[in-house]
Structure 1
């Protein structure tokens, strides 16, 4: 069974069941929205013939809930130069723009000489004997006050969280790319920074992903680095990494949504995307 988040109908993207949000039944989750936008941006770069450029800064504004209705993505090249290309994208449903994204693609060159500070301690993927390297989609792994596992109830605690997962294909029949994977998984920043003892009670309004290099595969990790909350507004950041080391950072701004929390304390997930009550 395909675990892709969309099927193609002409130029329209039709959301699959796995794209459905847990916030509301007729709402698409941000992982799918971000994946669709990233795919369109990457395809537009390929159309320009600029395979020499790498995604460096990707920003998504989630200003209106995307529904489970078919959608299209429109793109615009804002600026193209020798070492930079800026492309915008808009996710459209029934003629209304419900989300937008912007990506700066940059040309990799040489690292200048000299020493500059960087952290020594970096997050690491789960051990390979627990999670063998694979781009095949599966239930995400987490570590918190509890050790690495795929059991969501085990991680419904106040501990600092880290996740490791492989990106879902964006469109059925397409393998997906490392950039599409990291862009979609970056929406999970809100989950790992805002997940506490009573579930997730904040919903993110944006995603900002900064990458120093492309991922080596579709396996991506997020490790919480900071969270600040005042009066129902939370800002959270994570370090983004893969099996080759650090990639960059991701940040989200989120609003309190306590009236409709997502409670992971009594649910487990299967690799096919289905849910079942926790044992």
Structure 2
């Protein structure tokens, strides 16, 4: 089972736990996933535990289980928005990512093969983006549960699995495998379409840390991180990918 589905299901479980508390005044601000077993395409259950509920925050843990074994776990902090102080603090430079041109995108809300930019401009041609340039992607999330609308939190949590793609994809392919997903959010995305752009990648002795900025049509609203291990024996090589841009926005499953 793809990490998109695993992360999305964990986010849904956390979100429902906060909803069941009647805390519609809170928004997700921190989300952390540990991916330690490969989830299979079999019956899957998820459960959440409220760790702490306070006036301005709720801490929740969740796990996914298959055949009685825990396959992945997540934790999240939900905070109560408030008025921002007038203090001026340092922020990143004005170089901020923007979505692909509208003519490259399908109708709003329609799921599509991820679109990438790197040394080459935006396209869904995976092969041409196998280079050492600065990678970014734009995606529209799929529903996590059949016949259930995907929420903005589920969307950003599931698409965050693509952080490994944008931070670890180089000229030789994706030669690392991520062991986790981390999100820090200042707000929710405005809808279920959003992007990721790498901001840094550092590695030592086969252990890599990658960071990406998370953005939607209104701008950057968070940061995604992954910790990865070198995985050269199972490199994901897109140099001969079937997604060569010859078909317009074909559907893809999670």
- Tell me the TM-score normalized by structure 1: 0.86
Match for residue 250 of structure 1?
Answer: 224
Distance 1:234 1:179 in 2: 26
- With 257-266 and 129-138 compared, the bigger mean Cα shift is at 129-138
Partner of residue 36, structure 1: 9
CA deviation string 1:104-140 (max 9, x = no partner)? 0000000101211112221111122332661211011
Q: Deviations over 1:207-226 (max 9, x none)?
A: 11000001100011000000
Quick check: 1:273 aligned with 2:247?
A: no
* Alpha-carbon RMSD: 1.2
The answer to whether residue 126 in structure 2 is matched with residue 152 in structure 1 is: yes
Where does structure 2 lack aligned partners over 5 or more consecutive residues?
Answer: 244-248
**Residue 235 of structure 1: aligned partner:** 209
2:180 matched to 1:206? yes
Q: Which runs of 5+ in 1 are unaligned?
A: 1-27, 275-279
Report the Cα distance in structure 2 between the residues aligned to 1:117 and 1:123, rounded to whole angstroms: 18
Q: Secondary structure at the match of 2:239?
A: coil
Supply the distance in 2 between the matched residues of 1:58 and 1:234 (Cα, whole angstroms). 20
2:138 is the counterpart of 1:164:
yes
Matched with 1:134 is 108
- For 1:71, the equivalent position in structure 2 comes to 44
Report the 3-state secondary structure (helix = DSSP H, G, I; strand = E; otherwise coil) of the residue aligned with 2:15: helix
Note the 1:48-127 alignment, pairs <5 A. 48-119=21-92, 120-127=94-101
Determine if the alignment matches structure 1 residue 215 to structure 2 residue 223: no
Structure 1 residue corresponding to 2:150, chosen from 176, 186, 211: 176
Contact 2:50 2:59 in 1 (8 A): yes
Aligned partner of residue 267 in structure 1, secondary structure? coil
Q: Is the 8 A contact 2:106 2:112 kept in 1?
A: no
Cα deviation for residue 268 of structure 1 reads 2.7
Q: What is residue 143 of structure 1 aligned with on the other side?
A: 117
**CA deviation string 1:153-174 (max 9, x = no partner):** 0101111101011011111101
What does residue 246 of structure 2 align with? none
Scaled by the length of structure 2, the TM-score of the pair is: 0.94
Q: Secondary structure at the match of 1:216?
A: coil
* 2:70 alignment partner, SS class: strand
Cα pair distance change 1:128/1:238, threshold 3 Å: same
Separation of aligned partners in 1, 2:241 and 2:125: 9
Quote the Cα distance in structure 2 between the aligned partners of 1:273 and 1:242.
21
| Corresponding residue SS for 1:268 | coil
